[in-house]
Structure 1
C-alpha cells in the first residue's frame, strides 16, 4: 500500500524517534486517521502499542498533543521515557509548585512542547480551559477511557468532564484509548465522549504470551511462594490481594522467605507508596504486593507474572490487572488461587454495597461472569475473549484448561444433598449455617457444634461420605457460582434461591468442574510449556546480555529513571545476539532511535568490546 505524505512522515518519526522500522498490527491505520484530523476510539490490549497511536500523530501534526491520564504518580515516568527519546514532553498536576506550573504553561502556550500530560481533575479549572484557548493543540488523547463508563471496572467521576474538550475546541481531533471494554462499556464510552461519529478501531484482546492459570485455594501464601520459587525466581511481578491487611501480611511473609517484596495500598502514606512504586519500576526482580489501588498505567515491560490471591470483582478488572504482565511480548503468567470463601466474600460485599438495586445487579452480573471464567471446563482464553465480544476463537493450548483439561461431572445428586441440608436446617430447626457446618453434616462429623445443635439426628447427617471435605467445598462453591445457593448476613450463612427448587425436584441437571488433585505436576508442566515459548538467547549471547543489563542498571540508577526508560529487555536481547560493531549497525536494532543512539551508542559499543571476566 502506498503511504500518503503524512503517513510517510509518521513512518519516519517511528524510525527516527522510537527506533522501529515497522508499525505493529493496527497502529498504522489508526495513526493515519488521526494525523489526517479524524476522531478515533481505540480498543487495544495492554502491550499492543496504544501510546504510539497518539504520540506519533502529536509529533507529526502542528501544535502540542494534550494527553489526559488518570494517575499523577505515573506521569513523571511517562514523561521521562519520552524525554529519553528526545521528545519535548511535560506534565501539569498538583505535585508541582506554582512557579513550575507557570513555566510549563508558558512553554505550552508558546508551542515549545510536543506533548503535555494532565490529570482529568485539571479540566474542572477554568484556568486550564483558558490555557487551551491560547495554544495551538494538535490533538486530545484520552487514555484509560473506560474510566468514563459506569459499566466499566474503574469508573472515575472526573472523567465525566471530558466532554468539555470537544465543546471548547471542536477543531481538535480526539483519540480515546482503553485496553478493556465489553460491548456495554464500549457503547457508554461512545455516548459519554460524543464519539458516535468517530472511527472505532477494535483490535483483538488476545494476549497470546500470557498463560492463564487458576488453582484451588488452600494455603494461599504458601501457594504463591511455591509459584514464585518454582516458576519465577528473581522475576518482577505483582501479587494482588483484596484487603490492606492481606497485602501487609503477604508482603512480610514473602520477605521472610527471601523474596524482595514491597506492599502497596491506599492506607500507606503517600511518601511510602511513591517510594515503593519507584523501587518496583526502577529495580529488577521486585515483587509488588498490592490492592487494586496499584497498577493502572504501569509501563514496566518486564513484569513476568501477575498473581491474584483473592477473586477480582469483574472480568474487566481481571483482564486489566493480568494485562500488566508481559508488555514486552515475552512469556508471562497470570496465576490465581480461587476458592469457596472468595465467592462467599464477594456475594456479601455486593449485598452490603452502597447504591440502588440496579447498581447491585450490575455488580452481580460482573461477578457472575468472573465466576464463569473460573469454573469453565473450556479454554480460558476463548471464554475471556468471548466476554469482550470476540467470539469463535479456538483453544489456545497455553492455559491450564488446555494443558491439563479438567473433568466435568454430573453434580446433580451432590447439589440435591447440599440443598436438602439447607432446607432441613431451616424448616426443621429454623436455623441457618455457613458452608463449613453444612459440609460437616454431610460428612457425618460429630463436631461440638453438631452435637450441641443435635444435628446428628438429621436425615441428611452422613449422606455425603462419597466425597471429601475439599470436594464438598467445591460443590458448594459451584452452587454459589451458578446461583443455586446464596449467602446471607454478616456470617455468610447459606440460603436457597428461586432456582434451587428446580434442582431439588430433579428438573435441572447441575454440571460441575472437578478440581485437580492437590499435587501439582501438571502445573509444573504448564509452566514449562509457557517458558518453552520464550525466544531463547544463544548460549554465547547470555553473558553479553547480562553485561548489557548491568550497564543499563547502573545508567538508570545514575539518572534516577526506570531501567526500561534506557532500553527494553527485547532491545538488549537483540543487541546481545547481533553484537553490532559500529553505530551504524547499532542504529538498525529495534528500539534504538536517533536520540538514544547519540546518548548511549558509544557506551553500548564499549560494553560489548569490554573483555569478559
Structure 2
C-alpha cells in the first residue's frame, strides 16, 4: 500500500460513514495499526465498536477486506448496516445462486467491494481471489471460535491458519468480545499471528444492570419483570428446546409477543423468528444459546437467563446483546443446583472436559457470590475494578461485611507457599490440615500454613476464596489445571498492609425491583421521541430494513434533546453520518418543525406564566421551583421574553463583560447555529444560560 497520510482521513470518514465525531477507547490505535499492515488481536465488549476497527480501514485500502464470520444471519446484518452507511459490502455463502456468487467475485476483481463477508465453510469457493492481488486486509470476527479454550469452539475456524501462510503481507485483525489469556494465546498461535499486538479495552458495560436470583418461581418472576418493561425488546436464554416452547406458551397466555428459537426449527423458521425480532415484529425471543451472535440490534433492553450459562464468557457475551446503544438495560440470571448437574452432563466426553468443568464452577461461584457482580466479571477477564459498581443487585442491597484481612492473608500466603501450582480444593485442605492421600503424597503437610485454618469449615473457606477471586485478589489459571494465582491486588494485602472486606456465608433473598423506581426517568418517554420512533418505523418498513439501522434509540434521544432544525445541527448528532443526513435528514427535521408548531401556543403560554412570576419579583430559582421546571428552562424563557421586547432587567443575569466575550466568540466562530461551539470556546467556563442570554442581547442590538 503506498504511503498515505491516512490519519487525516480517519475522523472525516468516521463522521461521514458512521456518524461519530470521536473514536471510542483504542479504536483509533487499532485502526492505525491495521493501516500500517500490522496484525492485531482485539478484545472489545459487545457494542464497543469492534466492526468499525476493520470497516473504517477498508475504506482506505485499495482492495477488498475479507471478513470471516460464523453465521449467515450475522453477515446479512453486518452487510445491511454497511450499505445503510454508504459502504460497498456483500456476503458470500451457499444460500446464493451461482450467478449471484459470480457477480460478487467479479466486483472483487474490479475492487468495487470494500468488504466481503464469508463463513469458514465457504472459503473453498473463494480460492481464486484469496491472494494479495485482491485482498488488502483480513478480519476474523468472533475469533474465540478458533480455540478449544474458548466458550464457543467451532472446528471450521481451525482451518483459517492457511490465510497468513498464503497472504503473509496482508494484515489480519482477529476480534472477539470475550477471550481469557489462554484463549488469546491460542488465537494468536492458530492464526499464525504470534507477534500481533493485543488491544484489550475495558469490559465494563456500565449501562447494564446485573441481577442474579435463585430459580424458585422464576416463570412468575419473568412475567413480572417483563410487565414492568412493556413494549421493550428482550431475549430469554434457556438450556433446552422444550423450555423455550413452554415458556413462550406461558408468555402468550399473558398476551405477550413472544416466539421460540432453537435447533429443532427448520432453517426458514429460525430465519423468520430472527428477522421478526430484528424488525421489531416480535418483542421477545425465548432461545437456546444459538440465538443472537453478532446481531447488531441496538435496542434490546433486557436479557434473561432462565438457566445458568455454562461459563462466564458465554454469559458476558449474551448479556452484551442488551443495551448496545448505551441506553440503560437489564440482565437477570436465574440459577439452581439442577442447572449445574445438567451442565456437568453436557461436558461428558468432551476433549476439553476439564476446562469446561472448571469454567462451569466459576460460573456457579459468580451466581452464588455476595460481592459486586461487575467486579467478578471484570476480574475474570483480567480487569480490576477498585470500587463497587452500584448497578447490580448486591451493590443495591449489600450484605453485612467484616474485616477479613487475616483470613485473606492466610489464603494468599498458602497459595504463595504452594508456588501458585494448586487448585482451590488443595488450598483448603492445606489450610484445614487435611491428612488425605493427595496431601501426604505431595508432602504438603510440611507447608508452614498447614492447619492454620482448622477452625473454619471447608465450605466457609471455599466461600472466602471465591470472594477473593471475585474481588480480583486471586485468578484461576485454567490452562494450568485450575491453579490459583496471585494478582497485584493480593501482593498489596501480603506486603503493603492493604485491608480486605469479606462477607459471612449467607443466603441472599430479595425481590426484583421495578426499574422505574431505581433509574432516572428516560427521555424516551417524551412525546417527540415517540413521534421520531414512529417516523423511523415507517422508514424502516418502506426500505425493508431494521429500524435500528435507520437510527438507534440513543441517536433518537439525542435528536429529541437537541431538536436540530438545520443540516448542520443534524449532522452534529452522534450516529448521523453524511449519507444518513442526505437520506433521512429532511424527514426528521420536518417532524421536529411540525412538533414545534403544535407546541408553539403552549410555549407562548408557558413564557407568559414565567413573565407573570418574574413581575411578582420571584427569583429564577423560585420560579423554577414553583413551576416544577429546570432553572436553564426558565433562563431560556427570560431570553425569549427579552427578545420579544418585554421589560426584562437582562443584566441582572449576565454581565456586560460576559456579553462582550460572547460577541468576540461569535465573530471568531462565525455565528455558529448551536450553543455547544460557544461552550467549547470558553472551555466550559461560561454557562449555557449565560451564553443564551448574551446572544439574546446581541441579536436585539443587531
- The TM-score bracket by the shorter chain reads 0.7 to 0.9
What is the 5 A alignment of 1:49-68?
49-68=49-68
Spell out, residue by residue over 1:408-431, the C-alpha distance to the aligned partner (whole angstroms, 9 max, x if none). 89xxxxxxxxxxxxxxxxxxxxxx
Distance 2:345 2:263 in 1: 22
Partner in structure 2 of residue 271 of structure 1: 268
Partner in structure 1 of residue 506 of structure 2: 514
Partner in structure 1 of residue 158 of structure 2: 160
What is the 5 A alignment of 1:152-191?
152-191=150-189
Partner in structure 2 of residue 383 of structure 1: 376
Alignment of 1:524 onto 2:516: no
Which of 563, 571, 591 in structure 2 is aligned with 1:579? 563
Spell out, residue by residue over 1:575-608, the C-alpha distance to the aligned partner (whole angstroms, 9 max, x if none). 1111111222212211111111111111112222
Alignment of 1:401 onto 2:384: no
Deviation at 1:252, TM superposition (A): 1.4
Deviation at 1:134, TM superposition (A): 7.5
Any gaps of 5 or more consecutive residues in structure 1?
410-481, 485-496
Deviation at 1:507, TM superposition (A): 6.9
Alignment of 1:602 onto 2:605: no
Distance 2:593 2:401 in 1: 59
Distance 2:574 2:566 in 1: 15
SS at match of 1:131: coil
Partner in structure 2 of residue 89 of structure 1: 89
Alignment of 1:281 onto 2:274: no
Partner in structure 1 of residue 673 of structure 2: none
Kept after mapping to 1: 8 A contact 2:523/2:529? no
Any gaps of 5 or more consecutive residues in structure 2?
403-423, 427-435, 439-450, 464-504, 600-702
Partner in structure 1 of residue 304 of structure 2: 307
What is the 5 A alignment of 1:92-171?
92-123=92-123, 125=124, 127-133=125-131, 135-171=133-169
Alignment of 1:9 onto 2:9: yes
- Distance 1:355-1:343 versus aligned 2 partners, 3 A rule: closer
Name the stretch that deviates more: 318-327 or 579-588: 579-588
Deviation at 1:72, TM superposition (A): 0.7
SS at match of 2:231: coil
What is the 5 A alignment of 1:65-84?
65-84=65-84
Spell out, residue by residue over 1:302-325, the C-alpha distance to the aligned partner (whole angstroms, 9 max, x if none). 111110011101111111111111
Spell out, residue by residue over 1:161-207, the C-alpha distance to the aligned partner (whole angstroms, 9 max, x if none). 11111111112111100000111111111111122211111111111
What is the 5 A alignment of 1:72-471?
72-123=72-123, 125=124, 127-133=125-131, 135-230=133-228, 232-283=229-280, 286-350=283-347, 353-356=348-351, 359-406=352-399
Kept after mapping to 1: 8 A contact 2:325/2:554? yes
Partner in structure 1 of residue 501 of structure 2: none
Kept after mapping to 2: 8 A contact 1:236/1:304? yes
Distance 2:322 2:40 in 1: 26
Deviation at 1:270, TM superposition (A): 1.1
SS at match of 1:288: strand
Alignment of 1:43 onto 2:32: no
Distance 1:506 1:136 in 2: 69
Deviation at 1:265, TM superposition (A): 0.4
- Distance 1:312-1:535 versus aligned 2 partners, 3 A rule: same
Kept after mapping to 1: 8 A contact 2:259/2:282? no
Deviation at 1:392, TM superposition (A): 4.8
Spell out, residue by residue over 1:348-370, the C-alpha distance to the aligned partner (whole angstroms, 9 max, x if none). 333xx2235xx221121011110
Spell out, residue by residue over 1:15-44, the C-alpha distance to the aligned partner (whole angstroms, 9 max, x if none). 111111111111111111111211111011
What is the 5 A alignment of 1:27-38?
27-38=27-38
SS at match of 2:6: helix
> Which TM-score applies when normalising by structure 2?
0.69
Distance 1:407 1:217 in 2: 24
SS at match of 2:321: coil
Kept after mapping to 2: 8 A contact 1:236/1:284? no
SS at match of 2:286: strand
> Which TM-score applies when normalising by structure 1?
0.79
Spell out, residue by residue over 1:490-522, the C-alpha distance to the aligned partner (whole angstroms, 9 max, x if none). xxxxxxx999xx9xx9773422643333x62xx
Distance 2:456 2:256 in 1: 52
Distance 1:581 1:227 in 2: 39
Distance 2:367 2:389 in 1: 16
Kept after mapping to 2: 8 A contact 1:261/1:286? yes
SS at match of 1:384: helix
SS at match of 1:133: coil
Kept after mapping to 2: 8 A contact 1:234/1:285? no
Kept after mapping to 2: 8 A contact 1:255/1:261? yes
Partner in structure 1 of residue 696 of structure 2: none
SS at match of 1:10: helix
Spell out, residue by residue over 1:184-232, the C-alpha distance to the aligned partner (whole angstroms, 9 max, x if none). 11111111112221111111111111111101111221111111112x2
Deviation at 1:526, TM superposition (A): 6.9
Kept after mapping to 2: 8 A contact 1:575/1:589? yes
Distance 1:19 1:291 in 2: 34
Which of 536, 550, 555 in structure 1 is aligned with 2:539? 555
SS at match of 1:326: coil
Deviation at 1:135, TM superposition (A): 4.2
Distance 1:315 1:498 in 2: 33
Distance 1:362 1:556 in 2: 45
- Distance 1:582-1:392 versus aligned 2 partners, 3 A rule: closer
- Distance 1:284-1:333 versus aligned 2 partners, 3 A rule: farther
Deviation at 1:399, TM superposition (A): 0.8
- Distance 1:348-1:163 versus aligned 2 partners, 3 A rule: closer
Partner in structure 2 of residue 412 of structure 1: none
Deviation at 1:138, TM superposition (A): 2.1
Higher RCO (CA-CA < 8 Å; seq separation 6+): 1
